[in-house]
Amino acid sequence: EVQLVESGGGLVQPGGSLRLSCAVSRFTLSSYDMRWVRQTPGKGLEWVSTISGSGGSTYYADSVKGRFTISRDNSKNTLYLQMNSLKGEDTAVYYCTKSGGRRELSFDDYWGQGTLVTVSS
């Protein structure tokens, strides 16, 4: 069974930084686009970022562009999300997801359990 396990969430002050990790197993990471999706009670589910299988292409939601950086280390089977200049509205549960198709735009066929990021002073 495919597994995705996020870590790195926590409490951070506004303006601070945090790096999320997502360790994957039971599939070849380099063969799939990977994504981060976040969820809040107020705004619901929101796509954050996508990285191609090779890592050569990255995409960001306008709300995080210039502040967040997605990356991957296929040799370590790990996906990352570096979050800088954090704001209160970034408070959410962050999920890493695996692309279910070969297009950049595809559904998410597997999700991690999520990690909570709280931005507050």
Partner 1 sequence: EIVLTQSPGTLSLSPGERATLSCRASQSVSSNYLAWYQQKPGQAPRLLIYGASSRATGIPDRFSGSGSGTDFTLTISRLEPEDFAVYYCQQYGNSPRTFGQGTKVEIK
Per CB under 8 A, residues contacting partner 1 are: 44-47, 59, 61, 95, 100-101, 103-114
Evaluate whether 28 touches 94 at the Cβ level (below 8 Å).
no
Least CB distance to partner 1 at residue 119 (A): 21
What three-state secondary structure class fits 91?
Answer: coil
User: In the complex with partner 1, which residue's Cβ is closer, 11 or 105?
Assistant: 105
Q: For residue 18, give both structure tokens.
A: 């945090």
Residue with smaller CB distance to partner 1, 13 or 52: 52
Q: Closest approach of Cβ 92 to partner 1, in Å?
A: 13
CB 101 within 8 A of CB 107: yes
Degrees (nearest 5) of the Cα angle 70, 76, 77? Answer: 70
- The rounded distance, in Å, linking the Cα atoms of 38 and 45 is 6
- Taking the complex as a whole, the smallest distance from the CB of residue 106 to partner 1 amounts, in Å, to 6
Closer residue to partner 1, CB minimum distance, 17 or 43: 43
Q: In 10 A of CB 39, how many CB atoms? A: 14
- The least CB distance from residue 56 to partner 1, in Å, is 18
Closer CB to partner 1, 8 or 114, in the complex: 114
